[in-house]
Amino acid sequence: MRILVTGGAGYIGSVVAEQLVKTGHKVVVLDNLSQGHRAAVPPEAVFIKGDLADSAMLRHVFAQHRPEAVMHFASHTLVSESVQKPFLYLGANVVNGINLLRAMLEHGTKRFILSSTANLFDNPPKIPIDETAPIVPGSPYGESKFILERILYWLEKTQELRYASLRYFNAAGATAERGEDHNPETHLIPIVLSVALGKRTAVTIYGDDYPTPDGTCIRDYIHVSDLARAHILALEALDAGSRIYNLGNGRGFSVRQVIETARKITGHPIPAEVGPRRPGDPPVLVASSEKIRRELGWQPEFTDLESIIASAWHWHRKFPDGYPD
């Protein structure tokens, strides 16, 4: 299948593109490289540098490459930044998504996978969180993803679009050639590992007064390769209808547990200091992925925190300065 991957030079998008290529799909990556890296794009994929705000460019891409499906990762993704700059997220994320959807429907493409988020669930009434949990976005970033989900709902009803929205929790880990390299880096595991590499002096724990056993936030970490396989399974299932899935391992680990596990794996003391809470961070987010396990047979291969962090550590040691571009 010919598949357009927006944001395919980013962390998750590049790993999905890698797995799509390995499974025999023809991949076109569209990315403006504001957050992604040209070197992260699989060499077998066609790369186009472009911005989703450019509707004329999008029409040209669809006319030239005729993708049969779209996987949409391109987005502003920082929760804390979205609180400070709500119009950037409620504006650009939504408008760019609409540009993409309009272009694909104009050219007859009717399969769409949305990279959604666990930030749809702010202080959920029960843990683990399944797909029936009430949607209460925890930030403008989460709200922007929910708006796109609602647009997809109506496009299915009015335009015969088939879609899957994958609400994943904390993506982590690395493949042999692709890992996390953000600027600025906001994800816990690469920050912790950068301390072990000597690039930072300490890791900051943002709040130790949450209502959790050790006072720090608890998150569900899912390996990026397991996420990628879920995207491919969801794409293959679209002919049977649209669908929404929560994606995680179903186990939660606190910030302090992540730091302690990284200390064991790296052999580095990894100093930690406590800072103030970050806006938009709920105390506990743990997924129930029973629905996708039951319907699509998805099973994560990386089910423990140690193996996830070890894969990331291997990548960061191999590429201590990240991607060359």
Q: What is the pTM of this model?
A: 0.96
- pLDDT of 189: 98
Q: Is the torsion defined by CA of 52, 54, 55, 61 positive or negative?
A: negative
Beta strands in 90-177 (DSSP E): 111-117, 162-168, 170-172
Which domains does the chain possess?
2-172+222-247 (3.40.50.720), 188-219+250-318 (3.90.25.10)
- Please state the rounded mean pLDDT for residues 267-277: 97
Give the amino acid at 182. H
Task: With a cut of 90, say whether residue 279 has pLDDT above it.
Answer: no
- The pLDDT confidence band at residue 7, using thresholds 50, 70 and 90, is very high
Note the pLDDT of residue 18: 98
**Span 304-324, pLDDT tens digits:** 999 999 999 999 999 999 999
* pLDDT confidence bin for 56, thresholds 50/70/90: very high
pLDDT digits (tens, 9 = 90+) for 186-240: 999 999 999 999 999 999 999 999 999 999 999 999 999 999 999 999 999 999 9
Full strand arrangement of the beta sheet holding 2-6 = 46-49, 26-31, 2-6, 69-72, 111-117, 162-168, 243-247
Beta bridge mates, 5: 29, 71
Radius of gyration of the chain (CA): 19
Does residue 278 surpass a pLDDT of 90?
no
The chain-wide mean pLDDT, for the chain, equals 96
Going by pLDDT thresholds of 50, 70 and 90, the confidence category of residue 80 is confident
Identify the band that residue 325 occupies on the pLDDT scale cut at 50, 70 and 90: confident
The pLDDT assigned to 226 comes to: 98
- Given a cut of 80, whether residue 148 has pLDDT beyond it is yes
Instruction: Write the single-letter amino acid at 87.
Output: F
Distance CA 146, CA 150 (A): 6
What's the rounded Cα separation, in Å, for the pair 248 and 225?
12
> Token pair for residue 304?
């423990």
79: pLDDT strictly greater than 90: no
> Residue 43 has what pLDDT?
98
Catalytic machinery residues: 141
Tell me the average pLDDT across 137-166. 97
Q: For 208, which DSSP code?
A: S
Q: pLDDT tens for residues 134-143? A: 999 999 999 9
- Place 282 in a pLDDT band, splitting at 50, 70 and 90: confident
pLDDT score of 147? 98
Distances (CA, A) of 31 to 11, 35, 48, 202: 12, 9, 7, 33
The 10s digit of each residue's pLDDT in 82-117 is 989 999 999 999 999 999 999 999 999 999 999 999
